[in-house]
Structure 1
Amino acid sequence: MNAAAEERVPVLVVGGSLVGLSASLFLGRLGVRHILVEKHSDTSRHPRGRGNNVRTMELYRVAGAEQRIREAASVLADNHGILQAPSLTGEEQEWLFKEIDPGGGLAKFSPAGWCLCSQNDLEPVLVRCARELGGDLRFSAELLSFDQDREGVTAVVKNRETGEHSTVRADYVIAADGPRSPSRERLGIGQTGPGDLFHNVSITFRAPELAAAVGDRRFIACYLTNPEADGCLLPVDNEADWVFHAPWHPDQGETLEDFTDERCIDHIRRATGVLDMEVQITGKAPWHAAERVAERYTAGRVFLAGDSAHEMSPTGAFGSNTGIQDAHNLAWKLAAVLDGWAGPGLLDTYETERRPVASATSARASARSAEHSHPGYAAAPGAGGGRQSGVLTVALGYSYPRGAVLGTAPELPVVPARMQLTGAPGTRAPHMWLQRAGVRQSTLDLYEKTLVLLTGPEGAAWRAAAANAAERWSVPLPSYSIGTRPEDDLAPEKGADWAEVHGTTPQGAVLVRPDGFVAWRAEGMAADPEAELDRVLAAVLCRG
C-alpha cells in the first residue's frame, strides 16, 4: 500500500448521492470543512428519485440552490398527478390525484413548493453548489475501512482510478452510503421493519411515438394495470425519453438477465397499449422497495443518514426527502458543536429526533403504496385502510416531541392527523411574509446558521436578555422585533399578526433553531428573562 500523509478534516461524508451531496451543501453553507468520498466516478445517470417535497425545497431555498434546481427541472415543471389506467389507449383511466397543490393552498404554509427534478439532473446542481462553497468532493474514492476512538475517526480511502490508498482523520463521519451501507454493517447496527416490499427493474428507453399516446396528460407517473404487463411509466422529457418500472420477482427465480431488451420492449408495448411502437432500450437498473429503519442512527462519532438509516416505499416520494432532511438536521448540530457553542450531547438528539420521523414516514409510504395499488406491490389485506395523514402533513407537519426542544408534548404523535404549524415547540416554525429594508422575505429565510429569537414590539426585555445571553454563553443569537414601528427590524405584511401566527402574545418570544424548528416558546414576559433564556439555552444546546 502506498500510504500518503494523513489528511485532517472536521467531517468526512461517505456517499455522493442525493443525501451525501446535500450534506456537503449544508455543511459548506455553515462553514464546516469536509471531504466527501463517493466510489462511483460521477453522479447518477439514471433518472430516478424525482419528487422533491416542499420541506426539502425550503432547505434548498435557504441554502441558495432552489433557483438552480428549478432551472434544471424546467422540462417537467408542468407535470402533476398520478394517473392509473389499464393502458394509455383505452378510455378507462383514473387520476389518483391530479394536482400536487390543488387550489394553491400550500402558499399559506410555505414560500416554496414541490419540484419534480430527477436525480440525474439534481445531483450535478448539488455538486456545483457544494464545490462553490469549498466542499472537497472526491469521486472514484471508496471508503475501505474506518476505526474510531474518543477523539475522532481514522478512515482509509482508496482511489479507484489509481489504486492509491490514503488516510483521512475526521472528527465525525456522516455515512450516507446507501441501503446496503457498508458503514452500517461495520458498526454492527441492525434494522427493524417488514423488510422488502417489492422489486422493480427501472428501464430507460426512447420512444418518440409514445408522446402522441400520452397526449396532454402531463403526469408525474402513470400506473399501468394490465395484469399481463403492468408497471409504472414516468416521463423524462415528455417527448422521446421515458422510464418504465417493470415488476421483478426474484423470489420466483426471476433474474436480471431475464430482462432482455426484447422482453422489455414487448412489456412496454403491451403495458402502454401502443403495440407497434418503436422502442429503443437505453438502460436498466434494479431497485428494491423496502420498509426498514436502522436500530440506531449513531455509533460513537459516526452518523447514519439517508438510505443507510432508513428505506421506504417510493409512493409519496418520502425516501430521499427524509434523507436530505436528516442531513440538514445533522449539519447544523455538527457545526454548533465544532464551533463550540453547543455541547457534544446535542449530537445525541439527531437520532432522538430523526429516527421516529423515519419510522412514521416509512409506515405511511407503505400504506400509500397499498392505497394506490402500486404495480408490483402485493400488500397484506387491509393495508392502507383507515384515516391516514395526507402527504403534505407527513412531508411538512412532522414534529420532534423529544430532542433539542423544550416545552413539547412528548405523548403526541410524530406525524399529526392534520397540519398544525402554529409555532408549537418541536414543529417547523410558521411561515409568514415580512418586509426587511424594502425586501420581501419569509420568516423561514431567517433560519440557517444560528438560533434566532423572534419577538413583537413589546418584547424589548427578551431582546436585551438575548443580547446578554449571546455574550455570556458565546452563542450566536440574533433577535428580531416584528412590528410596524420604524424601529422594528421586520414588518409583517398587512393584516398579519406575528404573535397570533406563532401561538404567543405580544409580550412573548419564540426561539427558532437553525433548521427552522421551534426550540422553545414563551407565551408572555418572564419575571426574569435572562434567567429563563439561560435555562433554555442550557437545555437546547446541551450545555449544563
Structure 2
Amino acid sequence: MNENVDLHVPVLIVGGSLVGLSASLFLGRLGVEHLLVEKHAATSTHPRGRGNNVRTMEVFRRAGVEEEIRAAASVLADNHGILQAGSLTGEDQEWLFKEIDPGGALARFSPTGWCLCSQNDLEPVLLERAREQGGDLRFATEMMSFDPDASGVTATLKNRETGEHTTVRADYLVAADGPRSPVREQLRIGQSGTGDLFHNVSVTFRSRGLAEVLGERRFIVCYLTNPEAEGALLPVDNEVEWVFHAPWQPERGETLEDFTDERCARHIRTAVGAPDLDVEITGKAPWHAAERVAGRYSRGRVFLAGDSAHEMSPTGAFGSNTGIQDAHNLAWKLAAVLRGEAGRGLLETYGEERLPVARATSERASARSEEHSHPGYAPPPSVGGGKRGGMLNVALGYRYTAGAVLGVAPDAPVVPEGMRLTGEPGSRAPHLWVRRDGERISTLDLYERSFVLLADGADAAWRRAAERVAERLGVRLDAYGIGAGADLEPEDGADWAEAHGTGRDGAVLVRPDGFVAWRTESGSEDAEATLHDVLVTLLHRG
C-alpha cells in the first residue's frame, strides 16, 4: 500500500441513500469488501420514494430483506390505487386505478409483489442488513476529491463531525451521489433529455381530522386538482401523519421562504376541501422533477448509479427502482471481475444494458405524469407522445438488447409489446414454483451468487458439462436438473422447457442477477465446448 494511503478497499461507494445502501447490501452478499460514505449524519427522515415495484422486491427477496421491508411498510399495506379529486369532500372524485394488481395476475410472473415502503422506513432496513453483511458504512463522511487513474481511484474523505481526513485507494468507485452528482460533473459526462419538468415543496404535517375526512379511502396518493390549491396528498400512517406536495414555481420568482407554515396550512385545507381542518406543519423539503439521462454510465473505473445516472418524473416511482436495479446489475459484475472470474470488459456491459433501460423508463415516467395530470406538471409538446404500455411491462418486462447476453436481436425493443417473460436472452428469467429437497421455492430464488444452468432432469449431459467448465474456468456455476423427480420439480406438472422457450434436450443459462444470458433449444454434440465458449464470451475472458 502506498504510504500516503490510509485505507485500501476494492469498492468505494459514494452516497448512502437508497441506491448506495442497496449497492452495499448486494456487494456484501457477494462477499465484496467495500466502503460506503454518506455526507449526511443519518438515513433519510423524510417520507418519500415509497413505491417499490415488483422487480425491486424480487431482488430484495433474494438479498434476504423482503420480510423486514414488508414489516417496516406494514402501516401502508392496505393502501392501493391513485385517486384524483377536485377535493376530498366533493363529488368530483375518480380512481385512476384502484388496485396495483387487480385479480392477482402478477402471481403468474413473480413470487412477490409491489410494496409501499417510504424511504425513511426502507433505508434503516438496508443499512442494518448491509452492515450485517460486512459493509463498512460511514455517515457524516464526505468525499472531498477523487483522482481516477488506470488502476483505480484515490479519494480524500472528510469526517464532518471530527474534521479528520482519510485517503482511500479503491479499485473501483460507484457514484450514487444524487442528481447534482459532483462525480459525474468531474468526469465531464453530459446528460440528455427534456430537463426540468416541475418543482414541488414536500410538506409534512400532522392532522387528526383528515382521517375522518377520508373515511375508508386508502390510497397511495391522491392528486387534488383545485386550481387554487392543487397538489398531491400522501398518507404516512393513515391516522395523523401526512405529506402534501405543493407546486413551486421558482421560474416566476417564488422562493422557499414564500412557503410559510400559514400558507401551507391554508393550501392544504383548500385542496382537501375542509376549511376547518386541523393542520400542524412539521417540515418542508424542496424537490425537483426532471427527465435527464447521463450520456454514459462509466468512465474508466468510476461508475454512475441511481440519480447520478438518471432523473425521472416521480409518477410511477420509476426513478428509485431503476437506481436500485442499476446497483444490482453492477454488483455481480464487480464481484466477478474482482474474483478474477471475468475480464474488465464485463464492466462495460453495465452501461450497455442499463442506459437504454433508463432512457425508455424515463420517457415512460414523463408520459405517466401527463396521463395522471400530475399537479404542477405542464408537459412541453415534445413530451408524452411515446408509447404508453402497462406499468408492469416497463417495471418487469424490459430486456437487455446488448451487453452480457447472447442471442438477442440488436434491434429488439427495450420494452416490448406485452409481457413476454418466456426465457428470451436479455429478459428476466421466468418464475416457476418448484420443489427442491422438499422446500417450495421460486426458480428466481436460485439466482444471486452464481451463474445457473437449467437442463432437463432426465439428461445429465449439460450438468456434467457445467461441472467441468466451472472447474476449468474457475467460475461459480451451479447446474440443476429440472422436471419430474429431478433436483427441481415444478409444481402442478408445469413444463419448464416450454416456460423457458427451449426444447426438452436444450438448456438455459441464467446470470446472477436473474436475467437469461443464453439458451439453446437443443442438445450439443460437445456440450462442454459449447458452454465453455458461451461463458468465455459472456465473461470477456480473452
Q: TM-score band, normalised by the shorter chain?
A: over 0.9
Matched with 2:172 is 172
How far apart, CA to CA, are the structure 2 residues paired with 1:49 and 1:268? Answer: 21
Aligned partner letter, 2:180: R
SS at match of 1:429: coil
Q: CA deviation at 1:382?
A: 8.1
Q: Secondary structure at the match of 1:37?
A: strand
Contact 1:371 1:385 in 2 (8 A): no
SS of 1:49's equivalent? coil
Structure 2 contact 5–169 (Cα < 8 Å) conserved: no
In the TM superposition, residue 5 of structure 1 has moved relative to its aligned partner by 5.3
CA RMSD of aligned residues (A): 1.1
| Residue equivalent to 1:323 | 323
Using the alignment, how far apart are the partners of 2:427 and 2:5 within structure 1? 45
Q: Equivalents in 1 of 2:85, 2:272: separation in Å?
A: 9
Amino acid at match of 1:518: V
1:334 corresponds in structure 2 to 334
Aligned 8 A contact 1:349 1:404 in 2: yes
Alpha-carbon contact 1:408-1:426 (below 8 Å) kept: yes
- 1:250 maps to amino acid: P
The one-character-per-residue Cα deviations of 1:415-466 (angstroms, maximum 9, x if unpaired) are 1121100000000000000001111000000000100000112431111111
SS of residue in 1 equivalent to 2:389:
coil
- Alignment of 1:511 onto 2:509: yes
1:523 lines up with 2:529 in the alignment: no
Aligned ranges 1:363-442 → 2 under 5 Å: 363-381=363-381, 383-385=383-385, 387-442=387-442
Equivalent AA in structure 1 for residue 399 of structure 2? S
Deviation at 1:534? 1.6
Aligned-partner Cα distance in 2 for 1:108–1:292: 34
Q: Is the 8 A contact 1:436 1:489 kept in 2?
A: yes
CA distance, structure 2, for counterparts of residue 142 and residue 48 of structure 1: 23
Q: Which residue of 1 aligns with 2:314?
A: 314
2:533 maps to 1:539: no
Confirm whether residue 196 of structure 1 aligns to residue 182 of structure 2.
no
Kept after mapping to 2: 8 A contact 1:4/1:166: no
Q: What is the CA deviation profile of residues 490-516 of structure 1, one whole-angstrom value per residue up to 9, with x for unaligned ones?
A: 111013011010001110100000000
Aligned to 2:477, what secondary structure does the other structure show?
A: coil
- How far apart, CA to CA, are the structure 2 residues paired with 1:23 and 1:332? 10
One-letter amino acid of the counterpart of residue 418, structure 1: G
Any idea what SS the aligned residue of 2:420 has?
coil
For the 8 Å contact 2:484–2:493, the answer to whether it is kept is no
Determine if contact 1:189/1:295 at 8 Å carries over to the other structure. yes
Question: Which whole-Å CA distance do the structure 1 matches of 2:514 and 2:131 have between them?
Answer: 25
Secondary structure at the aligned position of 1:326 is classed as helix
Q: Which aligned pairs between 1:2-401 and structure 2 lie closer than 5 A? A: 6-381=6-381, 383-385=383-385, 387-401=387-401
Q: Which amino acid is the alignment partner of residue 290 of structure 1? A: A
Q: Distance between the aligned counterparts of 1:543 and 1:99, measured in 2?
A: 47
CA distance, structure 1, for counterparts of residue 138 and residue 190 of structure 2 = 29
Question: Bigger CA drift: 379-388 or 129-138?
Answer: 379-388
Q: 1:142 Cα shift? A: 0.2
C-alpha separation in 1, matches of 2:387 and 2:365:
14
In the aligned structure 2, how far is the partner of 1:300 from the partner of 1:4? 23
- Aligned 8 A contact 1:388 1:417 in 2: no
Q: For 2:487, give the aligned amino acid.
A: D
Give the residue type in structure 1 aligned to 2:541: R
Structure 2 Cα separation of the partners of residues 460 and 204 of structure 1 = 60
Q: Distance in 1 between matches of 2:287 and 2:31?
A: 35
Contact 1:459 1:525 in 2 (8 A): no
* Residue 488 of structure 2: aligned partner: 490
2:448 aligned counterpart, secondary structure: coil
**How far apart are residue 126 of structure 1 and its match?**
0.4
Letter in 2 for 1:106: L
Distance in 2, matches of 1:226 and 1:461, equals 67
DSSP 3-state at the match of 2:518: strand
Q: 1:503-541: per-residue Cα shift (whole Å, max 9, x none)?
A: 011101000000000000010101221111121011111
> Structure 1: where are the runs of 5+ without partners?
none
Letter in 2 for 1:227: P
3-state SS in 2 of match to 1:314:
coil
Contact 2:111–2:442 at 8 Å: present in 1 too?
Answer: yes
What do residues 147-206 of structure 1 show as CA deviations (whole Å, max 9, x unaligned)?
Answer: 122211100000000111101110001000000001111111111101000000000000
* Paired AA for residue 308 in structure 1: S
Q: SS of 1:449's equivalent? A: coil
SS of residue matched to 2:262 = helix
Counterpart-to-counterpart distance in 1, 2:100 and 2:49:
16
Separation in 2, partners of 1:304, 1:150: 17
CA contact (8 A) 1:19 1:176 kept: yes
Contact 1:459/1:506 (CA < 8 Å) preserved in 2?
A: no
Distance (whole Å) between structure 1 residues aligned to residue 86 and residue 413 of structure 2: 38
Deviation at 1:381, TM superposition (A): 4.7
SS of equivalent residue, structure 2 residue 193: strand
State the Cα deviation string for residues 100-158 of structure 1 (Å, max 9, x = none). Answer: 00000000100010000000000000000000111110000000000122211100000
**TM-score, normalization: structure 2?**
0.98
Counterpart residue identity of residue 312, structure 2: M
Conserved? CA contact 2:457–2:480, under 8 Å: no
Q: Distance in 1 between matches of 2:23 and 2:190?
A: 23
Amino acid at match of 2:412: L
Residue identity matched to 1:159: N
C-alpha separation in 2, matches of 1:380 and 1:141: 40
Partners of 1:64 and 1:328 in 2: how far apart? 14
Shift of 1:385: 4.9
What is the distance in 2 between the residues matched to 1:343 and 1:39? 33
The one-letter code matched in structure 2 to 1:163 is G
Using structure 1 for the length normalisation, give the TM-score. 0.98
Secondary structure in 2 matching 1:406 = coil
State the alpha-carbon separation in 2 of the partners of residues 122 and 305 from structure 1: 18
Distance (Å, rounded) in 2 between the aligned partners of 1:156 and 1:381: 45
Q: Retained in 1: the 8 A contact 2:363–2:384?
A: no
Contact 1:4 1:165 in 2 (8 A): no
- Indicate the percent of aligned positions where both proteins have the same amino acid: 72
SS class of match (1:479): strand
Instruction: Give the whole-Å Cα distance in 1 for the aligned partners of 2:479 and 2:499.
Output: 18
* Contact 2:86 2:225 survives alignment (8 Å): yes
Q: Distance in 2 between matches of 1:178 and 1:422?
A: 35
SS in 2 for 1:234: strand
Q: CA separation of 1:137/1:53 partners in 2, compared to 1, >3 Å: closer, same or farther? A: same
- Judged with a 3 Å threshold, the aligned counterparts in structure 2 of structure 1 residues 4 and 531 are, in CA distance, closer, same or farther, namely closer
Gapped regions of structure 2 (runs ≥ 5): none
* C-alpha distance in structure 2 between counterparts of 1:379 and 1:154, whole Å: 43
Q: How many residues align?
A: 540
Q: 1:333 to 1:282 in 2, by over 3 A?
A: same
